[in-house]
């Protein structure tokens, strides 16, 4: 999917002008509201540094969380500004509005060498509806548009897709460019076995895309809350585990088609869903989660089985943690899978890990440098691998 890139634009198209840059600063926050993992912020530094070097003035927009079209203070982008300022080494001004007169004025007043960060795009109801009026308002904030929000590029939203109708040039930033290069390599990788591992919690969003991998993958490994829905579909008792009941028929159809190639957990770590740590957790068979308890990680036998399959792969894609890894004691499955990905890489496999939380997990395990590519997008990388295109990329200029 070849599109025009930021690096293709002549310097005179950049110098002194305002670049509206869609970034994906949908970062995890701590309970105290601080940025828990700056990976997605750091991932935009190449584009921002490039723009500043070209004397272009970056105006940044992003979403954070799912505030559903209302102002929800805990989803403000304000805590991101100091993190970006520190990482970039340039002044970052945060403005608590997204579009409108103040934002427009701030974009015009932006000094050379400084960056403007606007408030959460999803505070506006038009964002997820790809509203035309909102798209026009976004378009006024720049003289060109740069999509560097790889993790949001599968969303046909106003700040990703709609805005490109009213603002040209519209080009791919350096992060988007490098993500597409790595994922393209994965799509073309022919070395077998090709193994995909899925976990995480966004089942409804992702389950439809898993189908596409059945035709290509030799093994499909499923853990995390994603596995709960599959186990439920195969008749297991899942207690109070996180499951997506509406997705059960899809999961059942998938199991039918993937017979023999899909590897589900055989044991699980169960505890009360609100357990603060794993001190009272127990190992249970995958079919028998006790009433009132939830499966919060894969069990030791499953960890070994998953690690063996992953370590033996030649091409590998992993999206979604194997459990509630943010909570103490429930990260063993995720850490084990991260290690197995690193082992596969060291044996010469081409490995890609995708997803905001998966990237955090890899980072938490200290293994970021030991996989071929860590993608900042979960749903986006899945969709690109499954379909070979993304709405936010299709919307950019042709070369
Ligand atoms: P990614 O961001 O890598 O694409 P997701 O957003 O789909 O991944 O899922 C990550 C979330 O899934 C994490 O917050 C993790 O705690 C949660 N999760 C994984 N397994 C479980 C489980 N068994 N029960 C509850 N939550 C889970
Ligand atoms: Mg996530």
pLDDT tens digits, one per residue of 49-61: 999 999 999 999 9
If you compute the radius of gyration of the chain from its CA atoms, what whole number of angstroms results?
21
Give the model's pLDDT for residue 308.
98
Give the model's pLDDT for residue 364.
87
Give the model's pLDDT for residue 234.
93
Give the model's pLDDT for residue 171.
98
- Ligand 1 pocket test: which of 207, 295, 321 has the largest number of ligand atoms within 8 Å of its C-beta? 321
Give the model's pLDDT for residue 1.
67
202 assigned to active site? yes
Give the model's pLDDT for residue 102.
98
Distance of alpha carbon 201 from the chain centroid: 12
Q: Could you tell me the pTM of the whole model?
A: 0.87
Q: CA-CA distance, 246 to 155, in Å (whole number)? A: 22
Q: Across the chain, how many H-helices and E-strands are there?
A: 14, 15
Give the model's pLDDT for residue 209.
80
Give the model's pLDDT for residue 203.
83
Q: Are 116 and 141 in contact (CB under 8 A)?
A: no
Query: And the tokens for 306?
Result: 């998953």
**What secondary structure letter does DSSP report for 62?**
-
Give the model's pLDDT for residue 204.
81
- Candidate list 4, 136, 168, 202, residue with the active-site label: 202
Residues (pLDDT < 70) of the chain are 1
Element (H, E) at 73: none
- Candidate list 40, 122, 155, 206, residue with the active-site label: 40
Give the model's pLDDT for residue 188.
86
């Amino acid at each position: 999917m070849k599109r025009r890139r930021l690096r293709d634009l002549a310097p005179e198209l950049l110098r002194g002008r305002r670049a509206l840059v869609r970034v994906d600063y949908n970062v995890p926050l701590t309970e105290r509201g601080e940025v828990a993992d700056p990976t997605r912020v750091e991932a935009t530094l190449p584009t921002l540094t490039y723009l500043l070097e070209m004397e272009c003035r970056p105006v940044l927009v992003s979403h954070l969380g799912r505030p559903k079209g209302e102002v929800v203070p805990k989803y403000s982008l304000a805590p991101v500004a100091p993190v970006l300022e520190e990482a970039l080494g340039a002044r970052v001004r945060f403005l608590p509005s997204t579009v409108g007169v103040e934002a427009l004025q701030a974009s015009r007043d932006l000094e050379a060498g400084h960056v403007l960060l606007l408030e959460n795009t999803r505070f506006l109801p038009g964002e997820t509806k790809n509203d035309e009026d909102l798209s026009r308002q976004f378009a006024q904030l720049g003289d060109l548009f740069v999509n560097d929000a790889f993790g949001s590029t599968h969303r046909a939203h106003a700040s990703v897709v709609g805005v490109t109708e009213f603002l040209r040039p519209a080009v791919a930033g350096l992060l988007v460019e490098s993500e597409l290069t790595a994922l393209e390599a994965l799509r073309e990788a022919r070395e077998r076995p090709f193994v995909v591992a899925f976990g995480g919690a966004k089942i409804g969003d992702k389950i439809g895309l898993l189908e596409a991998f059945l035709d290509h993958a030799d093994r499909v490994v499923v853990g995390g809350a994603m596995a709960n829905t599959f186990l439920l579909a195969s008749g297991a008792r899942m207690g109070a585990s996180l499951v997506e009941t509406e997705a059960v028929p899809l999961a059942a159809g998938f199991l039918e088609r993937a017979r023999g190639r899909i590897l589900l957990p055989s044991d699980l770590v169960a505890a009360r869903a609100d357990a603060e740590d794993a001190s009272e957790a127990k190992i249970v068979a995958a079919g028998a989660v006790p009433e009132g308890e939830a499966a919060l990680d894969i069990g030791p036998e499953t960890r070994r089985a998953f690690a063996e399959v992953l370590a033996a792969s030649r091409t590998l894609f992993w999206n979604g943690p194997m459990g509630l890894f943010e909570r103490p004691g429930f990260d063993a499955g995720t850490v084990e899978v991260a290690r197995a990905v690193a082992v596969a890489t060291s044996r010469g496999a081409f490995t890609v890990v995708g997803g905001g939380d998966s990237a955090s997990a890899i980072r938490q395990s200290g293994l970021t440098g030991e996989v071929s590519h860590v993608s900042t997008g979960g749903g986006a990388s899945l969709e690109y691998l499954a379909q070979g295109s993304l709405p936010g990329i299709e919307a950019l200029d042709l070369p």
